[in-house]
Amino acid sequence: MPPSKSGSKYLLTVMCLATRFPSAYPLRTITSRSIVRALSQFMSFFGIPKIIQSDQGTNLTSHLFQQVLKQLKIKHNLASVHHPQSQGALERFHQTLKSLLRAYCVQLDRDWEEGLPWLLLAAREVVYESTGFSPNDLVFGHKVRGLLAVLQSSVKISDSPKNLLSYVYGFRQRLIEARALARVQLKKQQAGMKRLYDRQVERRVFEPGDQVLVSRLLPSSPFEAKFEGPYVVKRKLSDENYEIFTPSRRKLTQLYHVNLLKPYYEKSSAEVNPVRSALLAVSGAGAGFCSGQMENEGKEPDDGILRGRLNNSESLERLNDVLVHLSPSQVAELSALLRSFPGLFGDTPSRTDWVEHDIDVGN
């Protein structure tokens, strides 16, 4: 984020997965201490959660942060490395919030931190297709008076006041019914999305001790990835998540989603042997090249011009060993071709005037 007037450059976002209620807290730094202070504000309003899910950032896995969670009896679930789908609802909200902040700053020429509370108020009024309710409805149990309500209040006649007892009873009933309906609707949406996703998914299952390759983003290009490894599976946490031994990384073990893993197959002994080149050096070519008769065949080259010796004769003697990577028919075909032009494959290079090349050394 660009620095705000108060010096904030970062934004900590928190979302309740059950109600999709979003919160955001501007921060000057993203140290563990700053994040703990922001979460304290969240918990002072909504209470202490039982479970917190986050990415594997060092500020969220530090000793200080883990000690705070331990004291508050909060279970910490870590998302898989390089797998933002683990927090899909929050990542989708990030896109919405970025577009709102961009429009607010560009169109109104205002500081983003000043408009953040009002943008959050507007975002919390939106009805989610997955739940069928807005986050405000599921958290507060009634229609929160937002910006749209202010505009509508001038033309809408307010309802007659109710006594306190009937209001509290109706409030609790609405909250219970809304949450039950939202839970059912959310399960339907998730099941539908899972069916669509599973159509193109190849199921992969690994066991402890299996060797796998891990997909990692390239530091030089965050839009490119490559497979590294092999690494060894330490344990299977679920059908989607595996703990992998990564001795070459900073952390000895890391959590990976199955979509970032693929099995590693060791090459057979025949494949492990390096394929030796069957190319032989050409010793000379004259006008009789097409007929197989070399005009310089049998002549010794001028030692003042050419020096050095090749191993073509040795390669020709053990041609079958050199061509082990080819099929028998291919070996026979290539052997016949090589022996048709013996003058081309001498041990001492010769000269040819078929091709000329000038080298400009830049006088």
Q: Which of 201, 205, 204 is nearest to 193 (CA)?
A: 201
pLDDT at 276 over 60: no
- Helices and strands (H and E) in the chain: how many: 11, 9
pLDDT at 71 over 80: yes
The tokens for 162 are: 């109710």
Q: Please write the tens of the pLDDT for every residue from 197-216.
A: 667 767 788 888 888 988 87
How far apart are the C-alpha atoms of 57 and 62, rounded to whole Å? 9
Q: Please write the tens of the pLDDT for every residue from 158-212.
A: 565 666 677 666 766 766 766 676 667 667 777 777 777 667 767 788 888 888 9
Q: Please write the tens of the pLDDT for every residue from 2-50.
A: 888 888 889 999 998 888 899 999 999 999 999 999 999 999 988 999 9
pLDDT confidence band for 289 (50 / 70 / 90): very low
Q: Report which DSSP code applies to 51.
A: E
Rounded to 10 deg, the angle between the 32-46 and 63-71 helix axes is 20
pLDDT at 91 over 70: yes
How far apart are the C-alpha atoms of 236 and 257, rounded to whole Å? 11
How much is the average pLDDT of 300-307? 47
How much is the average pLDDT of 104-123? 80
Q: How far is CA 64 from CA 10, 54, 68, 78, 91, in A?
A: 20, 15, 6, 16, 26
- DSSP, collapsed to helix, strand or coil, labels residue 230 as strand
253-257 and 211-218 strand pairing: unpaired
Ranges assigned E (strand) in the chain: 10-15, 22-27, 51-54, 75-78, 211-218, 221-236, 241-245, 253-257, 261-263
51-54 and 75-78 strand pairing: parallel
pLDDT at 134 over 60: yes
**Residue 207 CB neighbours (<10 A):** 9
Per the CB < 8 A criterion, the answer to whether 174 and 141 are in contact is yes
- Winning range, highest mean pLDDT, from 118-122, 184-188, 246-250: 118-122
pLDDT in the model for residue 275:
46
pLDDT at 303 over 70: no
Q: Report which DSSP code applies to 233.
A: E
> Taking CA 245 as the corner, what is the angle to CA 242 and CA 251, rounded to the nearest 5 degrees?
105
Mean pLDDT, rounded, of the chain: 76
Q: How far is CA 236 from CA 12, 171, 211, 242, in A?
A: 31, 44, 13, 5
pLDDT in the model for residue 167:
67
* SS3 annotation, 122-167: HHHHCCCCCCCCCHHHHHHCCCCCCHHHHHHHCCCCCCCCCCHHHH
- DSSP, collapsed to helix, strand or coil, labels residue 220 as coil
pLDDT at 103 over 90: no
Q: Pick 187 or 126 by higher pLDDT.
A: 126
Query: At 53, phi and psi to the nearest 5?
Result: -115, 135
Q: Global pTM?
A: 0.48
